[in-house]
Amino acid sequence: MKRRLFFLYSNHNKQFILKKTEENVMKKLLSVLLAAAMMAALLMGCADKKESKDSKDGGSKDVTIAFSFEDLETEFWVAAHEIITDTLKDEGYKVIELNCQGDANKQLEQVNDALTQDIDGIIMIPVDGDTAVTVTAAANESEVPIVIFNRPPTSDEGSNITVVCDNATTAEATVDYMVEQAKAKFEKTGKKLTPCILVGDLGDPNAIERKNGFYAAVEKEKDIFNEVIEVPTEWDAATALANLQSAVQANPDIDFIFSSSDFLFPTIQSVVEPLGKWQKAGDDGHIILGGLDGDSTAGKLIDEGYVDATGVQDLFYEADAAMNGIIKAIEDGETTPDEIVEDPGFALTQGNLAEKRMDMWGNAVSAEK
C-alpha cells in the first residue's frame, strides 16, 4: 500500500514553495515559483554530490529524465509541461519529451523505447489510469523510478510516486457553493432546479472522482433539484458540444451546470449564449455554473460574474512535487519509490474571490503575461 502524503509542508520542502507576499503576488508568482523549484533541485544535487563522485558531472548534470505526456490541448497541461521541462532543462538535466498524442499504446511504446536508452527516471502524464499501471510495471521491471503526474493509476499495483489533487473533495467544495446559490434561488421562486454535469472520460480516475464529488454535494439538498442530467464529454470539446446541445434541446430548463473541467467553459457558452442564458450571477436567466481545474479562462469568467465557482488544483505545488520526487529518488538510488503526494485543492467562488483570487494558478499565470 502506498504511503499517502498530504499537502503539509515539512522543513525539507518549505525551501521549494513560494512565500507569497502582497508585493509579489500580482506579477512575480510564476517566476518566483520556478526559481524556487530550480534552487530546490540544485540544493538537493549539491547535498548528495559527495556520494556521487563516480558521476562525471556531480550527479545532476548526467541525469536523463523521460517526460511522457498525453497532449497539450488544455491550459493546465500546457502550463505543467512548460514548468517541468523548462525547470529541469535550466538545471542541466537532460529531458526526453514523449508526446503520445492521446494514444495509450503509443505511450507505452514510447516509454519502453526510452527504457532502452539508459534513462534515470520517468515523469508521466498518462492517457488514462490503466496506462499508468502498465507503464509503472515496465518501469519497475527496468528498475527506473517513475512519477505519475496528476492522473492517478486505476490500482495500486506496482511502485510509483503519484502526485494528484483530491478531486472528489475539491469538486464537492465547488458544488457545495453552487448548491448554496441554488438553494437561495429555490427559496425565492419555489421552483426546483435542473442540474447538469459534463462528465469527463471515465477511463480517467480524476473524472470519476469529480463526478463523485458533484453528486456528494447535490445529494445534500436533493429536494431542491430535479433529476441530474449527465452529459458525456470524453474530455473532448467536440463531443461535449454535440452532447450538451442535445441535452439542452431536450431539457431547456437546465439552470445548474457543473463542468468536470474548466476547458469546456467556452463550449458551454457557445451552447447557452444563443438561447439568452449566458447571464451574470444575479441577473435573470443566470445559469449557476461551476467547473474544476483553475485555468485563466475560469478566472476571467469568475471575475466577470458568469461563473459562480471553480475547483482549483495547485499546479505549482504538483509540478514541484513531481520534479523533487523524481530527482530525490534518482539521487538516493531508489528505483521503486512508492507514495502518494496529495494536493487538497480548494474552491474559488464569488464568495471568497477577493481573498483567494491570486491563489489560483490560472490567475497567477495570466498576471505574468
CATH number at residue 285: 3.40.50.2300
Q: What is the pLDDT of residue 50?
A: 37
Are both 22 and 160 inside the same structural domain? Answer: yes
Are both 11 and 157 inside the same structural domain? Answer: yes
Are both 38 and 134 inside the same structural domain? Answer: yes
**pLDDT value at 31 more than 60:** no
**Secondary structure class of 158 (helix, strand, coil):** coil
Q: Which residue has the higher pLDDT, 19 or 197?
A: 197
Quote the CA–CA distance of 18 and 236 in Å, as a whole number. Answer: 34
Are both 140 and 22 inside the same structural domain? Answer: yes
Are both 120 and 195 inside the same structural domain? Answer: no
Are both 160 and 20 inside the same structural domain? Answer: yes
Residue with cell 449557476: 288
Are both 121 and 188 inside the same structural domain? Answer: no
**pLDDT value at 340 more than 60:** yes
Mean pLDDT of 52-62: 45
61-92: per-residue pLDDT in tens?
Answer: 699 999 999 888 789 999 999 999 999 999 99
Instruction: Tell me the pTM.
Output: 0.82
Are both 154 and 99 inside the same structural domain? Answer: yes
Domain assignment of residue 361, yes or no: no
Range of the domain at 257: 167-312
List phi, psi (to 5°) of 116: -85, -5
153-184: per-residue pLDDT in tens?
Answer: 999 999 999 999 999 999 999 999 999 999 99
- In DSSP terms, 341 is beta-bridged to 5, 163
Burial class (CB in 10 A: 0-12, 13-18, 19+), 274: exposed
Are both 308 and 321 inside the same structural domain? Answer: no
Are both 9 and 138 inside the same structural domain? Answer: yes
Domain assignment of residue 197, yes or no: yes
Quote the CA–CA distance of 322 and 312 in Å, as a whole number. Answer: 18
Q: Which residue has the higher pLDDT, 92 or 369?
A: 92
CA atoms within 13 A on the CB side of 150: 26
Q: Which residue has the higher pLDDT, 290 or 46?
A: 290
Burial class (CB in 10 A: 0-12, 13-18, 19+), 358: middle
177-190: per-residue pLDDT in tens?
Answer: 999 999 999 999 99
**Secondary structure class of 261 (helix, strand, coil):** coil
Structurally, how many domains does the chain consist of? 2
**pLDDT value at 214 more than 90:** yes
Mean pLDDT of 348-360: 97
160: left (phi over 0), alpha (psi -120 to 50) or beta: beta
Q: Binning pLDDT at 50, 70 and 90, where does residue 22 land?
A: very low
Domain assignment of residue 319, yes or no: yes
If you count them, how many residues does the chain have?
Answer: 369
Q: How many CB atoms lie within 10 A of CB 138?
A: 17
**Secondary structure class of 40 (helix, strand, coil):** helix
